[in-house]
Amino acid sequence: MNDHQAEREKEMVIPEILPVVAVRDVTLYPFIIYPFSVGRDFGVAAVEASLNEHRLLVMLGQRDQNQDNPGRDGLFDVGTVASVVRMIKLPDGRLRILVQGISRCKVEYFTRESPYREAKIQLLQDQESEADKLAKEALMRTVKGQLERLAGLGKPVSSEVLVMVNGMDLGGRLADLVAGNIEIKPGEGQRILEEQDVLKRLQLVNDTLAKEVTLLEMQAQIHNQARGEMDRSQRDFYLRQQLKIIQSELGEGTELQDEVAAYREKLQTLELPEEARKEIEKQIRRMENMSPDTAETGLIRTYLDWMFELPWNNFSKDHLDLKRAKKFLDKEHYGLEEIKERILEFLAVRKLNPQLKTPILCFVGPPGVGKTSLGQSIAKAMGRKFHRISLGGLRDEAEIRGHRKTYVGALPGRIIQGISQSGTMNPIFMLDEVDKIGQDFRGDPSSALLEVLDPEQNKTFRDHYLGVTFDLSNVLFILTANTLDTLQPAFRDRLEIIELGSYTMPEKVQIASRHLVPKQMREHGLNRERIGFSKAILETIIRGYTRESGLRNLERLLAKTCRKVARKVAEGEDRLYRIKKANLTEYLGPVKVFPDFRLKRNQVGVVAGLAWTSVGGEILFVEVTRMPGKGNLLLTGQLGDVMKESAQLALSLIRDRAEKYDIAKEVFSESDIHVHFPEGATPKDGPSAGITVATAILSCLTQRPVRAEVAMTGELTLRGDVLPIGGLKEKVLAAVRGQIKTVIFPELNESDWQEIPEEIRKGLDFFAVGRVEEVFKIALV
């Protein structure tokens, strides 16, 4: 027990029952003098009762600081016995008292509740141990040092308190003195008051001091930093004003003001949407208040240049003369009647209703059939600007929508760039190779195109760089693709699909003689007096040197021929060179392509199928043989999964009908059936060889030959139905090249058959079938 405390308590006899005063927002510690205001009735009555007897009170803290009349549970159990040193009665009835703490105490129970509270108390003594002596001295030094740091950081601690603290050698008294002279939350102060162990009490006080020191240091750092920033900005402002005055005296430094004035003048002459006008005005104001040398000024300047370059209300006038447009399209392109018809329909409706929503056209077809050049011809026919964007391999969504202007090197997307380059709000946009758009972690560009290619939405297209809406509803978008398989459904749904098939032989000859030959002669400095191509030789070149749906390879061969003639002319042999069959190998070398021919005779287990490839149609033979085995089906020819399943299905169908075709059941368990598709290095897939494989298997098992002049295509079901296929025109062209006489195809493809030109169908017998039995009846001898 503390000696001084014991002596003090011997001098003053403290009664066991004392009046209680509830205090809030502060904690009173022993030996600390503290002023209190007492205004509540039970508190005033308790003070007056103590003054009439022994001038002693129990000061108890409230648990809830906002409670006006706390009950027993609303007061802490541990408080301080205090002596009333002085009391002043205020005019409003409140008391102002000065008290000095004497000892910690614990309330055992209340003996009275009214008109004031009285409580039976037990005095609490400090607890110290000799073993903690060194730790206590170290903590006391630390507490004294922390208090001095606190005072140095601006905490209001009086010099008298600092002197008393430095002279203090009792740990409990030191902890109470420090805790009573710094601002501590009531909860933390109550914990210190309740702690009887001197070492632990010192530790609590030290922790509180350390936390306060850290907060004050951080506060000082923030204050100094803010003051430094403010001083720097004031200095910059002052220097900038001086610089303006100096530049004004020298007649320099007005470039930025001149630039801002030019932007404002340009803004007055433009017809802009309200949103765009507000954004431009905002950026001009920002630029006006900036230094001309900052990086952000350059960013704003670039942004404003883009905004002013866009053709906000500049429209090119459409040529709506239908006869002129038709004449121009016929001159530029041979055939392609469906596309020409669609463009003329658009012009006709545009003529009657200028507010027509612009369609989104998608040209789908094999390479080299003229999809891209057709877009240029449409632009010329309509009198519109033409802009082409190649989307092949595009992976970043920002290429379509642009980057936000806050990024370094930010630019608008390709759509807005194209609008700016074309200079009008209604150009024709050719989006090339949409089926070759990629996607990765930077997003899916085709998803970003969904808004662009929707006539209902693209009126309010928002590019990330511009930050304002832009009207794309007047742009005529034309897309090109080789296949639609890779397009997502939502993207495909927005497009009006127009298919371009492979060119027939007569079409290729006509296009070559009308367009390709004159173009190559012109590019190689030749004319009709130096080189001559007949239609017969063009057909020979097409048959012997090309196998394609389009015309790119044919154009290369014509260019190669013209180059060789141009060299001879340049060497002095200036005369007319006629390209004939006799001298064709001199210009193009030996024949490169050997056409598919039908079988020379009827054979067992060999059937001619018709296949579609990206370069046109081909004759694809199916060969089937049987050998002793265990009922296995062998498939060769680099086949895809769909084709393998189709062959398995064909075998199952034949097994199911074995009895009908007089096939012994033992054949399937004691034999292996091998199905082979020649040209084994070429990958093959698709279901359209279903009836071909079934016919070949049936021919092999029944030893009935297949007619040599027959070719077929069609998907097969397990029930024996023949389902429709695609690419019928290309397949029929392949049959004609291979001198096939009879073509079998699904009856559900009859509409496609009717679209094939009459000159191709004329020499063919055709059978539209719905059941596989019909196929067997026609094909097998």
DSSP string, 508-521: HHHHIIIIIHHHHH
Report the pLDDT value the prediction gives residue 1, as an integer from 0 to 100: 41
The answer to the question of whether 489 is labelled as a binding residue is: no
Question: Which residue's entry shows tokens 């900052």?
Answer: 294
The answer to the question of whether 722 is labelled as a binding residue is: no
What does pTM read for this prediction?
0.59
Express each pLDDT in 685-725 by its tens digit. 888 889 999 999 999 999 999 998 899 999 999 999 999 99
Q: Which residues contact 633 (CB under 8 A, 6 or more apart)?
A: 647, 648, 651, 672, 673, 675
Handedness of CA 438, 443, 446, 449 (dihedral sign): negative
The answer to the question of whether 368 is labelled as a binding residue is: yes
CA neighbours closer than 13 Å in the CB half-sphere of residue 262: 10
- Do the Cβ atoms of 199 and 135 come closer than 8 Å? yes
Report the pLDDT value the prediction gives residue 72, as an integer from 0 to 100: 83
The answer to the question of whether 501 is labelled as a binding residue is: no
The CATH-assigned architecture of domain 3-124 is Roll (2.30)
In a 3-state reduction of DSSP, which class is residue 140?
A: helix
CA–chain centroid gap for 691, Å, is: 46
What gap in Å lies between CA 125 and CA 196, rounded to an integer?
7
Express each pLDDT in 426-463 by its tens digit. 899 988 888 888 766 666 777 778 888 888 888 888 88
For strand 671-676 and strand 633-636, is the pairing parallel, antiparallel, or unpaired? parallel
Cross-strand bridge partners of residue 373? none
**CA-to-CA separations, 346 to 123, 352, 353, 691, in angstroms, rounded:** 103, 10, 10, 42
What gap in Å lies between CA 192 and CA 195, rounded to an integer?
5
User: 731 an active-site residue?
Assistant: yes
Q: What are the residue ranges of helices labelled H in 437-502?
A: 445-452, 489-493
In a 3-state reduction of DSSP, which class is residue 701?
A: helix
Of 268, 298, 292, which is closest to residue 281 (Cα–Cα)? 268
Q: Which CATH class is domain 606-779?
A: alpha beta
Of 64, 80, 78, 74, which is closest to residue 113 (Cα–Cα)? 74
What are the φ/ψ torsions at residue 705 (nearest 5 degrees)? -65, 155
- Do the Cβ atoms of 553 and 507 come closer than 8 Å? no
Cross-strand bridge partners of residue 675? 624, 635
Report the pLDDT value the prediction gives residue 674, as an integer from 0 to 100: 94
Tokens of 462: 């928002």
User: 114 an active-site residue?
Assistant: no
Report the pLDDT value the prediction gives residue 691, as an integer from 0 to 100: 92
What gap in Å lies between CA 383 and CA 360, rounded to an integer?
18
Question: Which residue's entry shows tokens 């162990």?
Answer: 197
Q: How is residue 440 annotated by DSSP?
A: B
The answer to the question of whether 359 is labelled as a binding residue is: no
* Stretches in the chain below the pLDDT threshold 70: 1-11, 229-230, 247-254, 439-443, 593-599, 614-616, 680-681
Which amino acid is present at 477?
F
Q: Where are the beta strands (DSSP E) in 45-77?
A: 56-61
The answer to the question of whether 413 is labelled as a binding residue is: no
Report the pLDDT value the prediction gives residue 681, as an integer from 0 to 100: 67
CATH number (1.10.10.200, 2.60.120.370, 3.40.50.150, 1.10.8.60) of 505-588 reads 1.10.8.60
- Do the Cβ atoms of 300 and 283 come closer than 8 Å? yes
E strand or H helix that includes residue 49: helix 41-52
- Do the Cβ atoms of 206 and 142 come closer than 8 Å? yes
Tokens of 347: 């012009």
**CA-to-CA separations, 758 to 184, 725, 732, 761, 763, in angstroms, rounded:** 102, 21, 12, 5, 9
Q: Which CATH class is domain 322-499?
A: alpha beta
In a 3-state reduction of DSSP, which class is residue 751?
A: helix
The answer to the question of whether 757 is labelled as a binding residue is: no
DSSP assignment of 721-737: BEE--S-HHHHHHHHHH
Active site residue: 136, 405, 729, 731, which one? 731
Active site residue: 502, 688, 699, 729, which one? 688
In a 3-state reduction of DSSP, which class is residue 343?
A: helix
Burial of 268 (C-beta count, 10 Å sphere; 0-12/13-18/19+): exposed
What are the φ/ψ torsions at residue 31 (nearest 5 degrees)? 70, 10
- Do the Cβ atoms of 444 and 482 come closer than 8 Å? no
Over the chain, what is the mean pLDDT?
84
What gap in Å lies between CA 758 and CA 762, rounded to an integer?
6
The residues spanned by each domain of the chain are 3-124, 255-309, 322-499, 505-588, 606-779
What gap in Å lies between CA 217 and CA 223, rounded to an integer?
10
What gap in Å lies between CA 768 and CA 220, rounded to an integer?
93
DSSP assignment of 758-776: HHHHTT-EEEEESBHHHHH
The answer to the question of whether 189 is labelled as a binding residue is: no
**Angle in degrees, 0-180, between the axes of helices 171-180 and 159-167, rounded to the nearest 10:** 170
What gap in Å lies between CA 280 and CA 338, rounded to an integer?
46
What gap in Å lies between CA 525 and CA 517, rounded to an integer?
12
Which amino acid is present at 348?
A
